[in-house]
Amino acid sequence: MAATSLLEVGIMLAAIAIGGSVASRLGQSVIPFYVVTGILVGPEALGRLTALHVSSGEFVEVLAELGIVFLLFFLGLEFSLDRLLANRQRITAAGTVDLLINFPVGVLIGLALGWSLTEAMFLGGIVYISSSAVITKSLIDLGWIANDESDPMLGTLVFEDLAIAVYLTLMSAVVLDSGDLADVLTDLVVAMGFLLALLAVAHYGTSLVERLVAAETQELRLLRSAAVTVLAGGIALELGVSEAVAAFFVGMAVGSTSDSDAVEHLLMPIRDLFAAVFFFWIGLETDPAALVATAGLLALLVALTTPTKLVSGYLGGRSYDLDARRSFRVGAGMVTRGEFSLVIATLAAAGGTEVLRDTIPSVTVGYVLVMSVLGTTLMQYSDAVWDRLPAP
């Protein structure tokens, strides 16, 4: 029997439960507490003192990926394709503003540090992409999922996820030095084809999806729904596409069926469990010593990229005709960075320079930690912050 692994899972769940209980007692968002809990019981803190700690292994990483998949699946349940298509011009406008403001900032910071263009491009991607998982969890916790603010936030996230699928394909070719334009184009066509196929199923395949998830018992409905969602996410990853955007489209497809409410009820506890593991995993990946070593660069990134997300999010809210206060809420919500920044950093680590191998991965983990805490806190207190700003 895998006694050690089972013990680690027990420690992980106990630590997450304690972190969540403390957050609840203090009336705070659970996300920062899950992250800090991961740091405390991880290999770089408790692991240096005792054998009773949680290792940052592949098993926990897979559980964390399930958290991303189920969070975005639930986002899709609330966001119909008709609503997406009806807002396509606004999504394009908000997403383009977000891209043009935030991506160049990271590239320029990298170039100002004397990095190569490739290294700077990786930093651009890391500071550009907001965290779908963190934002979705915050929307659910704050009860904003049905509010007007959610439309520009979710629309921008969809735009970002599609953009990052292209970005990751291109940067993978650069790092792996394949240099073959035909291979890059093939990967892009396959990735876009898979996403278009999921969109087509979401739009035209309601009866097919109903047959896939419908069952005579709750147990079978749960298993079928989970299988469809996780399989789509897994196939997406194999094809170099975001598992988050695939799960989002599957959620939209299930959301249009008569089983939507039943599936939502069944999968909600699974979502909450794996989402908690995802935020715990971010903390687990954080080395406090690396945070100290890159503190200067980390402070620079936080200082420069927080205002840019606030501005681009605010403009995105205005493009949806929201008033100034609600638009500021959008900006506050978009500040968080998370899973995709870590994916980009992992890809960079396969590169051949010291900046790609060491500096970028180290600073990215700290950046994700700080921005996830800062973003969720800003979102929670956005009205209080807005009231203290000078009148526009």
Count H helices, E strands: the chain? 20, 0
pLDDT bracket for residue 258 (50, 70, 90): confident
Residue 391 pLDDT > 80 = no
How far out from the chain centre does Cα 340 lie?
Answer: 6
pLDDT tens, residue by residue, 137-196: 888 888 887 788 888 998 898 888 778 767 877 787 676 555 566 777 777 788 778 878
Burial class (CB in 10 A: 0-12, 13-18, 19+), 267: buried
The pLDDT, as a whole number, for residue 21 is 94
* pTM as predicted: 0.76
Q: What pLDDT sits at residue 205?
A: 83
> What ranges in 256-381 are assigned the alpha helix state H?
260-284, 288-293, 295-319, 324-333, 339-348, 354, 360-380
pLDDT for res 176: 58
- Mean pLDDT, range 198-227, rounded to an integer: 88
- Averaged pLDDT, 230-239: 88
Q: Quote the pLDDT of residue 3.
A: 56
Q: Report the pLDDT value the prediction gives residue 102, as an integer from 0 to 100.
A: 96
Averaged over 30-50, what is the pLDDT? Answer: 84
Distances (CA, A) of 383 to 152, 256, 267, 302: 18, 34, 32, 21
Q: What is the pLDDT of residue 129?
A: 92
pLDDT at site 107: 96
Per-residue model confidence (pLDDT) at position 222? 93
Share of the chain above pLDDT 90, in %: 35
CB 127 within 8 A of CB 294: no
| Contact assessment for residue 331 and residue 383, using Cβ atoms and an 8 Å cutoff | no
Picking from 68, 82, 213, the residue whose alpha carbon sits closest to that of residue 132 is 68
Q: Tell whether the model's pLDDT for residue 312 goes beyond 80.
A: yes
Instruction: Give residue-wise pLDDT tens across range 55-65.
Output: 877 888 899 88
Q: In the prediction, which pLDDT does 136 show?
A: 82
Which amino acid type is present at position 144?
A: W
Average pLDDT, the chain: 86
> How many Cβ atoms are within 10 Å of 7's Cβ, its own excluded?
13
Q: Is 321 left (phi over 0), alpha (psi -120 to 50) or beta?
A: left
Provide the pLDDT for residue 144: 83
